[in-house]
Chain A
């Protein structure tokens, strides 16, 4: 069965600092992996997805993620945090036609 673990329920960074949100997956088949973002009082929005093409995936708002099969990881990064990046971020893996989500990581950005 597929599953996802997000390390750290809350991450705080300073504006301009590197953002690193960690995601590890478990999958019995080559996975499709996703990062979604949820801004306060809004629905979820796709940031980026990995579907077995390039291992480095670029998404919206300057975010990117690298698929590392050997580490079963799909960590999300952004070189320089902006105040508007404050939100909750969810990693997900496809399984049985649906997405299995992690517990989410809340990102805070300090001025």
Chain B
């Protein structure tokens, strides 16, 4: 596609459930990033994939969060046993380093 595509755009779940968020990067982009945007918290880095290198997971807030990138393209962010504080907009971006990051429109997660 022309841009970074994320799904679902909105997800409402109950506390304790697992959720999966998907990101389709721009074709040919070797780098993929996940960020979290919470009200008043700015953009918090979560994880970064670059080519075949080991991902930079330094921003994952707990072991309930994980992400994978299959075939160097699509990525899935998984949150296990969701908590209310996980409610946020999860943004995916891709790039062809050292070029700019292109962002998707985000997945809004609400944990009840």
Residues of A within 8 A of B (CB): 9, 32, 34, 36, 42-46, 49, 51, 90, 92, 94, 96-104
Contact = CB atoms under 8 A, between A and B. Distances in A.
Q: Which of A92, A98, A101 has the most CB of B within 10 A?
A: A98
For the side of the interface on B, what is the size category? 20 to 34
A46 B100 contact: yes
Secondary structure call for the A interface: strand
Contacts of B40: 9, 103
A90 B40 CA distance: 12
Given A34-B100, A98-B56, A43 B106 contact: yes
Contacts of A51: 98
A7 to B, nearest CB: 13
Contacts, number: 50
B97 A44 contact: no
B91 interface: yes
Contacts of B97: 97
17 contacts: A42-B105, A44-B93, A44-B101, A44-B103, A46-B101, A49-B100, A92-B43, A96-B48, A96-B56, A97-B50, A97-B56, A97-B97, A98-B45, A98-B56, A99-B45, A103-B40, A104-B43
Contact of A32 (B31, B56, B98): B98
Nearest to B35: A101
Nearest to A42: B105
Secondary structure call for the B interface: strand
A44 B4 CA distance: 11
B25 interface: no
Nearest to B53: A97
A57 to B, nearest CB: 13
Contact of A44 (B31, B45, B91): B91
Contacts of A45: 103
Interface string B73-105: 000000000000000000101000110110111
